[in-house]
A and B are shown apart, each in its own frame.
Chain A
Amino acid sequence: MSDAGFFVWLSEPLQYRFVCRGLGMALLLGVSGGLIGCVLLLRRIVLMADSFGHSLLPGIGIAYLLVGPGMGGLFIGALIAGLCTTVMSGTINRLTRLKEDAAFGSLFVLCFAGGVALMSHVAAPVDLMHYLFGNVLGVTANDLYLVTAVSCGTVIATCIGYRALLMETFDPQFFRSCGGRSFLTHLLVLGATVLNLVAALQAVGMVLALGLFILPAVTAYLWCERFGTMLIVAAGYGGVAACAGLYVSYYLNLPSGACMVGCLGVGYLLSLLISPRHGIIARVVRSRRHEQEDSPAECTIR
């Protein structure tokens, strides 16, 4: 493809306003999702965040019932559902022998089941599919404002709270011993996760929302040796790959959410193979070389 051809390929979809909105949404969600994903990944609570996403459904259903479709109401409904799930799993964790992951896991299937029943009752099946799988090309200007607020808030909070985030993610006990508010930071991370999940619902849906979080983060993790660099790479890659996914969706006429997550996945799969330090090829080459040289001392730092 010539340069001019590529330019036309890039600019052609932009004549449609809904595509522009969709691209804005993809960029914003990719960036803030990448940031959140890094923290979730390093705290090893990625799957907890996933179950968190599913537990938002009853909140959305009830909000739908009360105020009808419209992102503001659904946003608040989901937020309340998220907070309730957190409090309930915390209580179960404290009062019974169940650990936090088990409490979350068992609650989320219950919530999800309730949510599916509720949604099928209050909304047309199309709407349920919409919240499960999303449609970034159907966003309104108001949706975009909300996502802009959430995304910018996430980026600003990450910049301001970088040190607290680093300490809380790396070593919460040391953070606490320095007088840091470990629990508050953890709550803020969970809060930001809920906000971003809800923001991502419209674009990619509940089932794929985690892809926007985790795929940029795992990709960056395979390349970076510093937390700050990892955040920047994940945010940048998340934004670019999500937009690329939208172009793929436009030209191949495929579902937008799946294309965005799919594009993020391509970089991840490539990184798994070719990352210079942690990739599969590098590992195989290293172990081959060691076998040939037969020098185990190479592995240790002298």
Chain B
Amino acid sequence: MSHVLLRCTDLTICYQRRPAVHHLNLELACGSFVGVVGPNGAGKSTWLQGILGWLPLTGGTVTVADQPMARSLRRLTYLPQKRQSDVDFPVTVEGVVAMGRYQHRGLMGGFTASDQQAINAALAEMGLTPLRQRPLAQLSGGQQQRVFLARALATGADILLLDEPLAGLDAPTTQDLLQRLRAWATQDRLVIAVIHDLAAVRAWCTHVVLMNRHLIATGHPAIALTDDYLRAAYGPTFISNLPASAPAMVVP
């Protein structure tokens, strides 16, 4: 269950010879909900894109279940920070979720019963079944985010890379999504999400990666999100609003 799924060894990624992420050594286990935390410009998005193979690695390796990254692309799915997609696009909710299955069927292959099942399951999981025929443009921001997460789920990937999935969402929607992401992780997946809300990370994540170009701390939130580590990441004047000695909230 909790075997290492994603391993980064001495990972360095540079932009024009300036390291955005350097010497990152990490092992992330299946079943974890990992919160990636750090200031703006800390290389969080760069790291995720490095995992995807979109940016050339200056050094180091990324492996998925001890296989080279390039062979395991289908095991990953990615939800970008700022989607380039136009929400006024003529597409229905079900149409967006169905895109998650295209990679399994190629350009022309027809959907099988298992594809339809995956789509239905993803829609049901995100509570979108009643909205499946609605145009995407008619949905609220939170509902649209749920549609994109359902698409990620429908891909069947077991590693989900989510870049700020909670940006711009209200408190109840945030709470709801955190709950779902945590539940996904327990279903034999590895969920890696960039999240800026430290209280949310502490309350919901099972694992934290605190970074500022290099790894500062990793482990259980209670261990990795101490004031010392947070100041090392955000600067010496940073005052976290987290109660220093409070244990991580127990989530059922």
Contact = CB atoms under 8 A, between A and B. Distances in A.
Nearest to B95: A226
Contact of A170 (B54, B80, B89, B103): B89
B99 A174 contact: yes
Nearest to A167: B99
A136 B134 CA distance: 42
Given A224-B90, A227-B90, A177 B95 contact: no
A225 B90 contact: yes
Contacts of A248: none
Q: Interface size bucket, A side?
A: 20 to 34
B94 to A, nearest CB: 10
Q: Which of A42, A174, A300 has its CB near the most chain B CB atoms (within 10 A)?
A: A174
B84 to A, nearest CB: 6
Contacts of A174: 78-80, 83, 85, 99, 151
17 contacts: A162-B107, A167-B99, A169-B89, A170-B89, A171-B99, A173-B80, A173-B83, A174-B78, A174-B83, A174-B99, A221-B90, A224-B90, A225-B90, A227-B89, A227-B95, A230-B90, A301-B138
A179 interface: yes
A176 interface: yes
Interface string A200-242: 0000000000000000000001001111011000000000000
Given A42-B89, A163-B107, A301-B138, A178 B102 contact: yes
Contacts of B135: 225
Contacts of A252: none
A176 B134 CA distance: 26
Interface string A147-170: 000000000000011111011011
Given A226-B92, A301-B138, A173 B103 contact: no
A44 interface: yes
Contacts of A115: none
Contact of B91 (A170, A178, A179): A170
Q: Which of A160, A163, A164, A166 has its CB near the most chain B CB atoms (within 10 A)?
A: A163
Q: Interface size bucket, B side?
A: 20 to 34
List the 6 closest A-B pairs by CB distance, nearest first.
A171-B85, A177-B78, A178-B103, A225-B135, A173-B80, A163-B102
Interface of B: 52, 54, 73-74, 76-80, 83-86, 89-92, 95-96, 99, 102-103, 107-108, 131, 134-135, 138-140, 143, 151, 155
Contacts of A300: 140
Contacts of B102: 163, 167, 178
A172 interface: yes
B107 A161 contact: yes
Contacts of B86: 42, 44, 170
A171 B77 CA distance: 13
Given A163-B102, A174-B151, A178-B155, A226 B80 contact: no
A179 B74 contact: yes
Contacts of B138: 301
Contacts of B77: 177-178
Nearest to A164: B107
Nearest to A176: B54
A179 to B, nearest CB: 5
B140 to A, nearest CB: 7
A174 B139 CA distance: 20
Contacts of B107: 160-164
B84 A172 contact: yes
Contacts of B85: 170-171, 174
Nearest to B106: A163
B134 A227 contact: no
A47 B88 CA distance: 19
A162 B109 CA distance: 12
